[in-house]
Each structure stands twice: as structure tokens, then as C-alpha cells.
């Protein structure tokens, strides 16, 4: 059986090109070295592939980490739900990079009983053939063994087990669980019997299981929702606009899968009418008041999401009301004027642009003439909003998504467009 999420042992012997490390990750590692920050890689691929890179950093250098990684082009993302983890993100030519920074070891998974041995592990670490510091072979084996016993994933890789009681992990294990715990566990795994190893790990896991939080669940949820005392940059609100057939739903679904952020989606369109709203139209003003309230509540929910560090995607936006379809009566002018001002503008508008013929071929709604007219109205919004970007929606789905991801990163990181 294999250990899920095991910590790689130090690579020794042979050779590998140092440039196999993603250049942006290399820049981050070099920045930490220049700042005299002690660190090592616990888990993750450093070639820039998908997935987080978990860094263990000396707690005495906590204040130096943020400035060093910021100088390397990373942004500290606010993520109260992941505390005490600190997440730093960057978009590179190969995709998204995420550094998950910890100052203490969580031996059996997130929020487990902390092992304050970061400084000792870093001091004992050695650099692999890629010049990346990793835990020593013995420390890596002990940490992988404990992590194999995390709840719900009990499995032991018998091909990589500790050979001695050397290092800070066994001693701390005896202090927290009980005298001779480490020696008994080592004896169990040395028998090359996964079943015996699993039985030996079970009582240890029960002691080291995720830490109980002192705050009641409701208070904790409120604290995380309001991001009290949370570090890092707020999230970003992005509205995706375009006529029917431009590809809004496809783009939003793709972004939810690819962005390395918590993502929430809210519908802020003004033209969709429910059966209830049709009934309420019989009472003057009631249906409009209800729609305004609904839109405002969704907007406030989105604002709370950005405060928590989320990327908030608005499927359409109240600026659609500026299009004002149909007859321009006094009543319609008042209604659409109120709707257009019901919610504040987002940080970024993305208008998906395609010829009317293309959009009609995709969805078959309206006519080519109507779609072309609406297309031009969306393009005219460029004169009103500086944060509006037009994206060619005739490109492939993956190309459109990559372009929009780049725009999101540029606005999120504050880069020049």
C-alpha cells in the first residue's frame, strides 16, 4: 500500500538540471535565501505542475516571509478558512503556482496537533539534486509514517520506513502520546506487515487527530466569514458579460475548476423573470422592489466573499439594465435606471465578444440582428468603465479561459495592463 500525501525523502546521488525547478518557484526560493529565512519543501512538485508546494518555514522568520515572496512576484492570498496556513499565489507562463506556508508540522493532516519542530527539521535538512532543501531521509520517513495514519486514509508504505529513533519526531511523539511510543511504532513497522503497522498507528492518530477548536462552531463560522484578523489580500469581484451564446456559463464553469482560489458565483442579471415576479407585477412597484432587494443581497454576499479572499464571479451584472431593451417609456426608464444602480461595479468586467452569427449558431436564441445589436451595446460600455476588458469569444474554450485568468491575475496582483 502507498502512503497518501507522503513526504518525499531527500534525493541523493545522480544528477538533475537545476533549471528543472519552475523559474518563478526558483525566484521565490532564492528570495527566501537572500532574506536569511530557514525553509524546506515538505510536499509538492517544484516543476510548476498543478498542485500546492508546501513550505515549512522557521517561525522566528515569520515576518520576513511575506516581503520576500512579494518581491518574487507572489501575492499573499487571504484565506481565513485555512489558518494557520498562509497561502501565496502567482500566475506564471505554465499556470498557477501556490505556496502553502506553515511554521509548524501538522503530523496527521490539517489542524492536527502541532509539532513545533520546524527549526530542528530545517537545521537537519539537506538539498536534493535540484538544490531544494528537503527533510533528511530519516525525518521524512517519520513524517510520512505519521501522515499515513491520518483519519480516513490509514495506509502505510512499507518500502520507506524509519530505521532509527534519531531526530526530533520520535522524541516529541513520546512526549505527546506516551513513553516508548516511537520505539513501539518502529518495532511494528519494522516487521514489514502493513496490518500491524496500521494497528500501531491507530492509537497515535487518535491522540494527534485534528485539534478541537476552542470557539463554538457558530462563532468560528462568523469569525471566518468576516475574516477577523486575517492576513493577506482581499479577493476580486469579476462580472462576466455578453449576449446569449457568447460562452458565459462555459467560462464561469471552467474558472471554478482552474482558479487556485475559493470561488463563489452569483447571478446578477436583471432580465430573467421568475413566475413569482410575474404574479407580483400586478401590484405596481412590488416586483421591482423585490428584484432590487434580491440583487442587493447577492451583491452583499459577493462583497463578503471578496473580503474572505475569494474570487467572486458574477454571471451577468446589473449594468445589463443600461441596454434597455423594448420600448423606452417613462416607467421603463425609471425601472432600468434603478436596476442599473442596484449594485456597485465589480473590480473587473469581462465582455465576451463574438459576431452575431457565431452566437446564434451556438445557442439559436434571438436573431442575428438582435445579437449583433446587443454585442455593440456591450462594447459601448468601454466608454463608461475603465475596468472593462473585451475578450475574443471565438477562440477555443481553453484559450478564452487562459486569457481571462491572466486578466484576473493582472487586476488581482495590481500589474499594469
Do 292 and 371 share a domain, yes or no?
A: yes
Q: Among the three residues 208, 223, 251, which one is the final residue of a domain in this structure? A: 208
Do 143 and 83 share a domain, yes or no?
A: yes
Q: Among the three residues 208, 243, 272, which one is the final residue of a domain in this structure? A: 208
Domain count, the chain: 2
Domain range for residue 125?
18-208
Residues near 142 by Cβ (< 8 Å), separated by ≥ 6?
Answer: 162, 167, 169, 170
Cβ–Cβ under 8 Å, residues 135 and 143: yes
Do 244 and 176 share a domain, yes or no?
A: no
Cβ–Cβ under 8 Å, residues 102 and 85: yes
Do 242 and 332 share a domain, yes or no?
A: yes
Residues near 112 by Cβ (< 8 Å), separated by ≥ 6?
Answer: 106, 150, 208, 209, 210, 211
Do 193 and 242 share a domain, yes or no?
A: no
| 285 domain-assigned | yes
| 272 domain-assigned | yes
Do 261 and 348 share a domain, yes or no?
A: yes
The whole-number pLDDT of residue 9 equals 39
CATH number of the domain within which 57 lies: 3.30.460
Do 253 and 380 share a domain, yes or no?
A: yes
CATH number of the domain within which 341 lies: 3.40.50.300
Count of Cβ atoms closer than 10 Å to residue 152 Cβ: 6
| 76 domain-assigned | yes
Cβ–Cβ under 8 Å, residues 375 and 355: yes
Do 329 and 275 share a domain, yes or no?
A: yes
The conformation of residue 162, written as its DSSP 8-state character, comes to: -
| 214 domain-assigned | no
Q: Please, what is the end-to-end C-alpha distance for the chain in angstroms? A: 50
Residues near 150 by Cβ (< 8 Å), separated by ≥ 6?
Answer: 5, 108, 109, 112, 205
Do 243 and 203 share a domain, yes or no?
A: no
Do 261 and 164 share a domain, yes or no?
A: no
Do 203 and 244 share a domain, yes or no?
A: no
- What cell does 21 get? 525547478
Cβ–Cβ under 8 Å, residues 269 and 345: no
| 216 domain-assigned | no
The whole-number pLDDT of residue 202 equals 83
| 11 domain-assigned | no
Residues near 357 by Cβ (< 8 Å), separated by ≥ 6?
Answer: 368
| 199 domain-assigned | yes
The whole-number pLDDT of residue 78 equals 92
Pairing of strands 348-353, 388-392: parallel
| 86 domain-assigned | yes
The whole-number pLDDT of residue 210 equals 73
Cα→Cα distances 122→116, 133, 294, 326, Å = 12, 8, 53, 68
Q: Among the three residues 192, 208, 224, which one is the final residue of a domain in this structure? A: 208
pLDDT tens, the chain, 417 aa long: 233 333 443 444 444 555 689 999 999 999 999 999 999 999 999 987 777 999 999 999 999 999 999 999 999 999 988 888 999 999 987 789 999 999 999 988 888 889 999 999 999 999 998 999 999 999 999 998 888 765 445 555 656 678 889 899 999 999 988 889 899 888 888 876 667 777 888 888 888 887 666 666 667 667 666 666 678 899 999 999 999 999 999 999 999 999 999 999 999 988 766 666 666 666 666 778 888 999 999 999 999 999 999 999 999 999 998 887 666 677 778 888 888 899 999 999 999 999 999 999 998 888 999 999 999 999 999 999 999 999 999 999 999 999 999 999 999 998 533
The whole-number pLDDT of residue 189 equals 81
Do 158 and 239 share a domain, yes or no?
A: no
Amino acid at each position: 500500500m502507498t502512503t497518501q500525501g507522503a513526504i518525499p525523502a531527500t534525493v541523493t546521488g545522480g544528477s538533475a538540471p537545476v533549471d528543472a525547478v519552475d523559474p518563478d518557484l526558483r525566484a521565490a526560493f532564492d528570495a527566501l535565501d537572500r532574506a536569511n529565512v530557514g525553509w524546506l519543501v515538505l510536499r509538492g512538485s517544484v516543476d510548476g505542475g498543478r498542485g500546492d508546494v508546501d513550505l515549512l518555514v522557521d517561525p522566528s522568520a515569520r515576518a520576513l516571509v511575506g516581503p520576500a515572496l512579494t518581491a518574487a512576484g507572489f501575492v499573499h492570498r487571504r484565506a481565513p478558512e485555512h489558518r494557520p496556513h498562509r497561502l501565496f499565489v502567482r500566475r506564471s507562463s505554465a499556470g498557477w503556482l501556490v505556496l502553502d506556508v506553515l511554521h509548524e508540522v501538522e503530523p496527521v493532516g490539517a489542524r492536527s496537533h502541532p509539532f513545533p519542530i520546524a527549526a530542528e527539521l530545517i537545521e537537519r535538512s539537506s538539498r536534493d539534486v535540484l538544490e531544494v532543501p528537503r527533510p533528511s531521509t530519516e525525518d521524512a520517513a517519520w513524517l510520512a509514517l505519521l501522515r499515513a495514519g491520518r483519519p480516513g486514509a490509514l495506509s502505510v508504505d512499507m518500502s520507506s520506513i524509519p530505521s532509527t529513533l534519531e531526530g526530533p519526531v520520535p522524541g516529541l511523539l513520546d512526549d505527546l502520546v506516551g513513553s516508548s511510543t516511537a520505539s513501539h511504532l518502529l518495532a511494528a513497522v519494522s516487521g514489514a506487515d502493513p496490518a500491524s503497522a496500521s494497528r500501531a498507528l491507530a492509537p497515535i492518530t487518535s491522540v494527534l487527530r485534528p485539534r478541537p477548536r476552542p470557539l463554538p462552531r457558530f462563532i468560528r463560522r462568523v469569525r471566518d466569514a468576516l475574516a477577523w484578523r486575517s492576513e493577506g489580500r482581499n479577493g476580486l469581484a469579476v462580472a462576466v458579460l455578453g449576449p446569449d451564446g457568447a460562452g458565459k456559463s462555459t467560462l464561469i464553469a471552467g474558472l471554478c475548476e482552474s482558479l487556485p482560489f475559493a470561488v463563489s458565483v452569483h447571478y446578477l442579471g436583471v432580465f430573467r423573470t421568475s413566475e413569482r415576479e410575474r404574479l407580483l407585477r400586478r401590484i405596481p412597484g412590488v416586483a421591482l422592489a423585490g428584484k432590487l432587494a434580491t440583487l442587493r443581497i447577492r451583491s452583499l454576499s459577493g462583497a463578503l466573499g471578496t473580503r474572505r479572499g475569494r474570487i467572486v464571479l458574477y454571471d451577468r451584472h446589473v449594468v445589463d439594465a443600461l441596454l434597455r431593451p423594448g420600448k423606452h417609456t417613462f416607467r421603463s426608464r425609471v425601472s432600468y435606471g434603478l436596476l442599473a444602480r442596484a449594485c456597485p461595479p465589480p473590480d473587473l468586467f469581462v465582455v465576451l465578444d463574438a459576431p452575431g452569427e457565431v452566437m446564434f449558431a451556438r445557442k439559436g436564441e434571438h436573431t442575428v440582428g438582435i445579437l449583433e445589436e446587443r454585442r455593440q451595446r456591450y462594447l459601448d460600455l468601454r466608454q463608461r468603465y475603465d475596468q472593462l476588458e473585451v475578450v475574443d469569444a471565438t477562440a477555443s474554450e481553453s484559450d478564452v479561459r487562459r486569457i481571462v485568468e491572466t486578466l484576473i491575475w493582472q487586476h488581482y496582483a495590481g500589474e499594469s495592463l
